[in-house]
Structure 1
Amino acid sequence: MINLPSRLRTMFAVYPPLLWVRLFGETLTTLSSTMIAPFLVLYLSENIGSSIFMTMLIIGLQPFSEILITLFAGGVTDRYRRKTVMLVSLLMQGFAMLGMAWADSMLVFALLYVVNGAGRSFFIPASRAMLADTIPAKQLSSAFALLNTSSSIGAAIGPLVGVLIYQQNPALAFLLTAASLLLYTLAVWWKVPHSEQPTVAMESDTPRTRSPLSLSLHAYRPAIAIMLLSLPISLFYAQTETNLQLHLKDTLPQYLQTLATLAAVKGTLLLLFEFLLIRWTQHLPPRLLITGSYLCFVGVALGYAFLDHVPFLIALQILFVLGESIGLTHLLTYVSRIAPPSMRGRYYAITGTHWDISRMCGPFLGSLVLIQYNGTVLFSIVAVILLIGGGAMHLYLSKKETAFPLEQEG
């Protein structure tokens, strides 16, 4: 019989305090933020008042601000203390969420949404780079999997609670998210030590200390390639986070409950299986894992396009979780391997830009297709784009794998 307390003590000893603080913070903030996230489009259109087009434009403002700040944020992460950047960014997000709880106009909400996006732009590359700085490469995939698992705890519970909050007082979700961000900030300040910046990044006579725009494009070429080839995946996510809500509203009678159920089932499956899936697949080539996730997402997109029975949609979450676990987590690890240590913040910032691009343009463009045709056509188009993107990613990773073989974990 497995000695669970002993296994837990061993796990706590293996990873640094940073990871456990991140696990605490991600669980807390995901739990609160997912109370409103599945219903954000409905909240803007029903409570503040806006057309579908205006709502989608507002949704696109946060990723737009993140795109503008991304390269600057990555450079800041590589030049200054990662912990300091994380603290400032968490406070920015907390302030924005607090303001959104009382926002009564689209303009005010949009401005606060941009501030929240700016905070995320600083926090994500800083936290990922700090993780890569402090955790050995062979443990990095498992660490990212644990982080995603902690987020899944909140994602499994948050939407179900969110249904009740949305029907009573949706603004409460923003207040809870602001409070969770404050607790996260305090935990980082109290428990996370400052990490050493990479030596190369601190030498004033090296060109790596210049702004990203002054560096050779060649230095960033792998990051840019990964970012562009990942766009189909983030485009798919952008549709599931926004237009899927409107699609299900048109096709299912109990759409609010269905949205909450799908999010909760996905979060529960990630919680139960993501870490195990990462451990079982970490010895396989990234090429197979990452491109295989595209095929999983193709299946999910086609399911959303043609299935209109709740049990089938729930079963579809298994494929969704498989693609997210084996693909996205290993992609983060792959980025840490190809990035020079003194440029990890910028590499994570650049490669993560595909999320911002898709979330800026995807909801609005998808709504045009949804209104002109229907959700079936929209998600069928997304499936075709994913299939093409998966083939392109497979070719690129095969070429990189041949030229620069990477040591596998395990």
Structure 2
Amino acid sequence: MFTESFKGNLRFLSFLQRPASIAVLLFFFVGIADGAMLPFFALWAQHDAGIPVGWIGVLFGCYAGGEILATPFIGGIADRKGRRPVLLCSTLGVGLGFLLLYFAHGVWQAACVLLLIGISESVLHPTIMTVIADSVPHERMRSQAALARTLSSLGRAAGPALGAILVLHSLGSVFLASSAAILVCTVIVACCLPETMIGEGEEDDDEEGLSSLLPALRDGRLARLLLWVILLEMCGSWIEAALPLYAHTMGTLSASGVGALFSYGALLVAVLQFPLTHLTRRVSEAKLVLASGAVLVASFAALLVSPGVPSLVMAMSGFALADMLFGPLIPAAVNALASSSKRATYMAAVSVTNDIKDTLGPATGTALFALSLQLPWVAGIGLAAGAAVGLAAAIARAPRQRTAADHGAA
């Protein structure tokens, strides 16, 4: 009796026997790490690290730049060395990097540490997503990606709350929390995650060079798809980058009000992502992309009409809804293009598009805002509509499923 009761109480841990479930859990802790650090980074840089305000944007660029620089060289390494060792090294590197950032002072020290974190993180997200793609049938990929995004959003909502408590002690303590969250991932991978790669992996091909590691240079279908992804995500990031400036300049929201608005957006994704994906599971990917573009256009139009609080809430709600419709489609669409031996490499290419968006999006959005307060919204309407149509066409031309052999492997 006691044994049966004990086993029943431990059934909730059975998900740790499923690689896809472990990967989703990793996304939660990575979300906590990002959420605890990012809202307070600029304040730490200015007040604790002695970094001039003009250099703070450069440091953000170092964070994303490390990922962009590293991905062509190591982005596909999980296809050769395996998923588990890559995740162990990546989480350990990011975790120790955040720990070093706690002790960093000045521009050069912070820049070097952020580059290290970016290099280590360049394979983190794509390899976690590759574990999911290895472990579930293709027809469940969109649903599993939505679940991963839900857990990531929950982490991103919990992270700032944790950081708000820690900054009462010191601004730099948020990096200790981020480090701890990532090192928890290291322990989970070491103790629970089996290797999911089929076979022994590919041998390095010295003649291919970077082209073997950056598949967008070789696969025209992938390159076209990712180009439209970059454009659609970039115009969406203008809401994130320029909306706080717009609300502050127009006297609509205080700084804390802007923070509350973005917390609302993150919670909206966390609560609604998985139910929405379930409800739209029978809708084609191309139609969902078009719907995402239409919602973004409506969000930009709301900001054009008025800078008031209702318009800001409508825009943030639309941005979150567009992200929920669009986000889970891309891993599934890219997975359909990839063979099992190139899966991590293709997911790394998706990660590069996110890094490019994180670099170009805020820069272009704020530059447009500097020219005219409403220019980002005007330009966003045209770009969102065009990118959505282009991406929908690219997805419609992509293969709808992998080969029979890959189905059996999954």
Q: Say which SS state the counterpart of residue 154 (structure 1) adopts.
A: helix
Query: In 2, distance between residues paired with 1:88 and 1:302?
Result: 45
How far apart are the structure 2 equivalents of 1:182 and 1:14? 20
Q: Distance in 2 between matches of 1:261 and 1:223?
A: 37
In 1, Cα distance between the equivalents of 2:146 and 2:207?
A: 32
Matched, 1:393 2:391: yes
C-alpha distance in 2 between matches for 1:249 and 1:167: 25
Give the counterpart letter for 2:159 in structure 1: G
Report how far residue 120 of structure 1 moved.
1.6
2:349 aligned partner = 350
1:213 aligns with 2:211: yes
Cα distance in 1 between the residues matched to 2:362 and 2:56: 9
Q: Answer whether contact 1:301 1:380 (CA < 8 A) is retained.
A: yes
**Aligned counterparts, 1:185-200, within 5 A:** 185-198=186-199
Q: Is the 8 A contact 1:33 1:173 kept in 2?
A: no
Give 1:82 shift: 0.6
Which stretch shows the higher mean deviation, 300-309 or 289-298? 300-309
Consecutive unaligned residues in structure 1, runs of 5 or more:
1-8
Match of 1:6 in 2: none
Q: Distance in 1 between the 2:258 and 2:392 partners?
A: 32
CA deviation vs aligned residue, 1:260-295 (integer Å, no higher than 9, x gap): 322322222222221111112122211111232122
Deviation per CA, 1:333-391: give whole Å up to 9, x if none. 111111111111111111332211222233333333333433x3234323332222112
CA distance in 1, matches of 2:207, 2:146: 32
Distance 1:355-1:405 versus aligned 2 partners, 3 A rule:
closer
Aligned-residue sequence identity (percent) comes to 20
Moved more, 52-61 or 262-271: 52-61
Structure 2 distance, partners of 1:122, 1:54, is: 26
Alpha carbons of 1:102 and 1:243: their partners in 2 closer, same or farther (altered >3 Å)? farther
User: Which range moves more in the overlay, 250-259 or 120-129?
Assistant: 250-259
1:166 Cα offset (Å): 5.0
| Alignment match, 1:364 | 363
Pairing 1:298–2:272 present:
no
Task: Say whether the 8 Å CA contact 1:56–1:364 is kept in structure 2.
Answer: no
User: Against the structure 1 CA distance between its residues 267 and 369, is the aligned structure 2 distance closer, same or farther, given a 3 Å change threshold?
Assistant: closer
Q: Which residue of 2 aligns with 1:120?
A: 121
Deviations 1:231-262 (A, max 9, x none): 12332354445444444443347533223322
Which residue matches 2:4?
none
In structure 1, C-alpha distance between the alignment counterparts of 2:102 and 2:354, rounded to whole Å? 25
Partner of 2:147: 146
Q: How does 1:224-243 map to 2 (within 5 A)?
A: 224-243=223-242
1:34 corresponding residue in structure 2: 35
Partner residue, 1:87: 88
Report matched runs for 1:11-410 at 5 Å: 17-41=18-42, 43-45=44-46, 48=49, 54-163=55-164, 165=166, 169-198=170-199, 201-202=201-202, 211-213=209-211, 219-252=218-251, 255-304=254-303, 307-374=306-373, 376-398=374-396, 400=397, 404-406=399-401
Residues 3-31 of structure 1, C-alpha deviations (whole Å, 9 max, x = no match): xxxxxx99987895223323333223323
State the number of aligned residues.
393
- 1:405 CA displacement: 4.8
| Distance in 2 of aligned mates of 1:105 and 1:248 | 31
The offset of 1:85, in angstroms, is: 0.3
* Partner Cα separation in structure 1 for residue 120 and residue 375 of structure 2: 35
In 2: Cα distance, 1:303 partner to 1:96 partner = 41
Q: TM-score, normalised by structure 1?
A: 0.84
Q: In the aligned structure 2, how far is the partner of 1:46 from the partner of 1:367?
A: 24
CA distance in 1 between counterparts of 2:160 and 2:299 reads 20
* Offset of residue 144 of structure 1: 1.1
Cα distance in 2 for partners of 1:180, 1:15 equals 17
Kept after mapping to 1: 8 A contact 2:26/2:128: no
CA shift in 2, pair 1:122/1:246, >3 Å:
same
Contact 1:229 1:393 in 2 (8 A): yes
Contact 2:43 2:171 in 1 (8 A): no
**C-alpha displacement of 1:198:** 4.6
TM-score, normalised by the number of residues in structure 2? 0.84
Deviation per CA, 1:163-201, whole angstroms, max 9, x where unpaired? Answer: 5555763212111000111111101110101123356x4
Distance 1:86 1:233 in 2: 29
1:107-146 alpha-carbon deviations (Å, 9 max, x no partner): 2212211111112211122222221111111222221111
CA distance in 2, matches of 1:14, 1:172: 32
Q: Could you tell me how far 1:152 is from its partner in structure 2?
A: 1.9
1:327 to 1:291, Cα distance in 2 relative to 1, 3 A: same
Range that drifts further, 9-18 or 309-318: 9-18
| Partners of 1:328 and 1:181 in 2: CA distance | 23
C-alpha separation in 2, matches of 1:209 and 1:140: 34
CA 1:394 to 1:26, structure 2 compared with 1: closer, same or farther past 3 Å?
A: closer
Gaps of 5+ in 2: 1-9, 403-410
Distance 2:270 2:99 in 1: 29
Q: Distance in 2 between matches of 1:292 and 1:64?
A: 32
Measured against aligned partners, the alpha-carbon deviations of 1:83-105 in whole angstroms (never above 9, x if no partner) come to 10011111111122112223221
Distance 1:312 1:292, change over 3 A: same
Whichever residue aligns with residue 288 of structure 1, its letter is: K
Q: Give 1:147 shift.
A: 1.1
Q: Secondary structure at the match of 2:196?
A: coil
